Chains A and B, each alone.
Chain A
Amino acid sequence: GAVVSQHPSRVICKSGTSVKIECRSLDFQATTMFWYRQFPKKSLMLMATSNEGSKATYEQGVEKDKFLINHASLTLSTLTVTSAHPEDSSFYICSASWTGGDTEAFFGQGTRLTVV
């Protein structure tokens, strides 16, 4: 099956610093990648849709200047949390898809971000 690798799995950073999370599709070309945020005991909330070579589309209420997304190649998308604050602490998950039609998405293992 399709494999999506997310790195790092855990990161602790100081308040005010920026953190980059990588999402890679290992055995397929991902035309589209998605970024989700998940709070404890809650569902996954879609943050943004990232298409290779174009700007990301953000969901309502998600600050694009806070959560910078880059999808420079068909196998890599990055999410940078800029000037992180404790309220940005969360579980961030990416997924990748390869077609424009109805299809499942393949998920990374998630990144636990803790801002201290």
Chain B
Amino acid sequence: GESVGLHLPTLSVQEGDNSIINCAYSNSASDYFIWYKQESGKGPQFIIDIRSNMDKRQGQRVTVLLNKTVKHLSLQIAATQPGDSAVYFCAENGRGNQGGKLIFGQGTELSVKP
């Protein structure tokens, strides 16, 4: 996704509710996608990944959905907790790109209200 010049979107949810964070990626040739969580002043932390031959993958309390038709990725967090408050980024590794070379989306700031 294009992030230059845009402010970070925000999402505010009540503790215990489910959160859905969306991301539009740019390269239709990308075949590997990752969601990262970034807390203030820290580096990104891996949450979950998905390859382009899948449309859904589940982890602990998290689910990633991939819609290649519209180049859309979403992260669902079940029973959101205060510790989930952070900025969430999707990242893509375009086909043919060097392993680990990631292009990051805009990011969404998740705020969890107690």
Contact = CB atoms under 8 A, between A and B. Distances in A.
B105 A43 contact: yes
Nearest to A2: B46
Contacts of A100: 98-99
Nearest to A109: B43
B99 to A, nearest CB: 4
Nearest to A51: B98
B40 to A, nearest CB: 10
Given A43-B106, A93-B44, A105 B100 contact: yes
A44 B105 CA distance: 8
Contacts, number: 81
B49 A6 contact: no
Interface residues of A, number: 32
B26 to A, nearest CB: 12
Contact of B99 (A4, A43, A91, A97): A97
Max chain A C-beta neighbours (<10 A), residue from B4, B98, B105, B109: B98
Contacts of A93: 43-44
B46 A104 contact: yes
Interface residues of B, number: 29
Interface in A88-111: 91, 93, 95-110
Interface string B75-108: 0000000000000010001000011111111110
Contact of A43 (B32, B49, B51, B107): B107
Contacts of B106: 43
B3 interface: yes
B59 interface: no
Nearest to A95: B100
Contacts of B104: 36, 43-46
Nearest to A42: B3
A107 B100 contact: no
A6 to B, nearest CB: 7
B66 to A, nearest CB: 14
A-B CB proximity, top 3 nearest:
A97-B100, A43-B3, A105-B100
Interface of A: 1, 4, 6, 32, 34, 36, 41-46, 49, 91, 93, 95-110, 112
